[in-house]
A = this chain, B = another copy of it.
């Protein structure tokens, strides 16, 4: 997504990747391939952290939910994500969260790419988790507890299988049907899966514990008695004010890593901790500026909230792949004018005869 593609897109409109086409793209390239490349794109962008303008998001709250616009830009590309959160949507048979994204050219303001972001978000969240675990978990980690077996769980499972080396899953969900769905979806993946009766049983003996629950209330999914030395905790589900998954004592006893400190202090597991509670931004670890895990016994926590830059990286992969595979459609969101100063004439809005007729019409 460098500047050389500018002219290529100049006169061809906006490339549009629909939700069905994004799924087809993932089928064609293979889910493990997509996860691996997204993780690498995120790593690359995290290594050039300072290049990004990490603007504030705008949020419009209503009684049923929230609609947010999340912009992020570097010197070449601007992108913004549209995302909503409406907990009551499932009653209407709609998804709680829906997202799409636009990528534009910073130099000209031209919208380059419009894409679905529901599937892409599930992929990038899993890729981000795996990238953090590659960096923070013990290298010999093979067993993962997966607490919460909803919409994101299979993506987490496959990312950890292919990018971290997990071979065994110990899964639990308050809804047994969710676990059954996960087992059915991952049949043939090569993962050994044990369905457990509660979180403690699932966590027992795990090298990594991934929590990806959907509870909106302040939940205590993990309590200190479940934690074993050397565990890596991948806390994905706690991602907004009032939504956490970990008991506070776990955080006190662990080394905590976050994506972007200002955002995580509001939205993350650390939202109840004092402002000077020590956290480490992951990009500094990736750059070698900060240590990751200090010992094999240390408990590490990746307090993941999802950050706009990760969408930017994931989109870079989806857009480049779509262009390479000749997927997506061209949209004419912006008029192509033969003369930019002659909008009226270029669009051939009215002929002189029509103008006369309309004029009479109105006068009559």
Residues of A within 8 A of B (CB): 10, 16, 18-20, 23, 26-27, 30-33, 36, 53, 55-56, 58, 60, 62, 64-67, 69, 71, 73, 75, 78, 80, 82, 84-86, 89-90, 92-100, 102, 104, 106-111, 114, 116, 118-119, 122, 150-155, 161-162, 178, 181, 184-190, 331-337, 339-345, 347-356, 358-359, 361-362
Contact = CB atoms under 8 A, between A and B. Distances in A.
B118 A98 contact: no
Contact of A344 (B20, B75, B110, B155): B155
A53 to B, nearest CB: 6
Nearest to A345: B185
A351 to B, nearest CB: 8
B67 A78 contact: yes
A205 B56 CA distance: 50
Given A151-B342, A155-B344, A340-B93, A69 B71 contact: yes
Nearest to A181: B342
A20 B31 CA distance: 37
Contact of A104 (B84, B181, B184, B355): B84
Given A92-B10, A116-B335, A340-B90, A188 B64 contact: no
Nearest to A21: B332
Contacts of A80: 69, 82
B122 A109 contact: no
Contact of A348 (B23, B73, B116): B23
Query: Which 8 pairs, one residue from A and one from B, show the smallest C-beta to C-beta distance?
Result: A84-B109, A188-B352, A19-B335, A154-B344, A151-B343, A23-B347, A190-B359, A18-B332
Chain A facing B: main interface SS = mixed
B152 A343 contact: yes
B335 A118 contact: yes
Nearest to A53: B60
Contact of A362 (B19, B53, B162, B361): B162
Nearest to A359: B190
Most buried by B among A10, A66, A106, A334: A334
B106 A67 contact: yes
A104 B118 CA distance: 16
Given A32-B358, A340-B93, A20 B335 contact: yes
